[in-house]
Amino acid sequence: MVRALYSFLTWLIQPLLRRKLARRAVAEPGYAVAIPERFGHYTVPPDQGRVWIHAVSLGETRAAAILLAQLREQMPGLRLLLTNGTATGRAEGEKLLRPGDVQVWQPWDTPGAVARFLDHFQPGIGILMETEVWPNLTAACAARGVPLVLANARLNERSFVKTLRLDGLARPAYRALAAVWAQTEGDAARLRALGAPVQGVFGNLKFDATPDPMQREQGRIWRTALGRPVILLASSREGEEELLLKEIKAFPSAERSKFAINRGLNQSAPGVQWLIVPRHPQRFDEVAALIGRHGFPVSRRSTWGAMPPAATLDAASGVMDATAIDTATLEDRPSIWLGDSLGEMALYYSLSDVALLGGSFAPLGGQNLIEAAACGCPVVMGPHTFNFAEAAELAQAAGAAQSVSDMEAGCRAALTWVADPAQQRERADAAEAFAAAHRGACERTVRAIKDLMAKAD
């Protein structure tokens, strides 16, 4: 009865979903692509037997890429069916496709759309990445004998509490899964409490990612050429850029020595280059305008040539956005770099001496710190890291990260690190060692998938 009511509601709100997609497509045109696929209507020919991977958004798609690479290596001839839920996830997913692979949107969780999806593609196995468990989808797969697993599974305490409120809907959905492979013991305990068939704690696939070596090398070259520390606000979310800009304004160049002395820092420490990389590309222009409103020149990655510009703006240079600022301000305010590009986080982390972790200074649960660690970039985290609580605790215990109470404390910690090159180097080494120590989830997950497919045959 509970799922019947849920099914009626998901069917009823389909016009609202179409309206929401139309609104989002204004900022992100990708949401206007192939909308009928959302409701189980496809232009690609029917097929069967593919390995179906569902990765809802950007982060899950990058985790799927790690898994897919090893699956292809061990399963020659693998034919992929890839589904996504967001425009950024779909765009990233396109990079994973090979000739013969298929990519479509995740079906909206009505019985009709799910049935049409399964009838059309008849996948041999379904692999859901991290968190995506939908009641009608799991029930339909179980009824048809399609093994559906949850890989790299995570469920933080907040989500667990919310899910318990929908126990009559959630518990049957989790029970219908063929297997669950959790990231941590804490995730496993919460998933088991919902009835999920947890068959292993494999770690986080993202530890097995290898940062792009060309980006890492380019970042190191730029960092050496710049000759001053870079502090990065990584994958920032709405409101966090404002917090950082207010802190930077608290110590303009005329006050930098005073700021350093008050905090017992080397006086050269505040002579840093600040770099902001927003999490969502649709906010690039918004953040650029925000930087300008705070009185800072802004240099966008998209305008750089072979090298990034100097940290102090030359009013005659052609590399900065045309923000109207008088000469006195130019002397007193450093330029802010804006990372307005996709797929270059390895470059930004390798360029930086320390990263402030986006999503953790606003109550959003934090972004993943694993890529930063793998690039040897130590991390300062705000108080909100519930999405990756165990990874955050382990990183702090390893000396690769530090937790602080707010953005002011975060800036102080970052400045303290860059004021002491020996401490920064020690933290950077600890970050790389931390990332290396937790690899192996991919191999364990691939082995489990192959075992499950062999049993299904």
Q: Which residues contact 401 (CB under 8 A, 6 or more apart)?
A: 357, 369, 373, 378, 379, 380, 381, 392, 395, 431
Could you tell me the sign of the dihedral formed by the alpha carbons of 167, 144, 102, 130, in that order? positive
Look up tokens 């953040």; give the residue: 287
Q: What are the E-state strand segments in 383-422?
A: 401-403
393 noted as active-site residue: no
Look up tokens 């790690």; give the residue: 66
Q: Which two tokens stand for residue 52?
A: 């179906």
Long-range contacts (CB closer than 8 Å, 24 or more residues apart) made by 299-303: 299/335, 299/336, 299/337, 299/338, 300/337, 300/338, 300/340, 301/337, 301/338, 301/339, 301/340, 301/341, 301/344, 302/340, 302/341
Dist CA 290 CA 278 (whole Å):
12
Contact status, residue 109 vs residue 134, Cβ threshold 8 Å: yes
Q: Which residues contact 163 (CB under 8 A, 6 or more apart)?
A: 155, 170, 194
Instruction: Decide: helix, strand or coil at residue 299.
Output: strand
**Given the residues 28, 37, 60, 73, the one annotated as active site:** 60
Dist CA 219 CA 282 (whole Å):
24
Look up tokens 């930004």; give the residue: 348
Q: Which two tokens stand for residue 210?
A: 């290898």
Angle value at C-alpha 278, between 274 and 283, nearest 5 degrees: 125
**Which residue numbers are catalytic?**
60
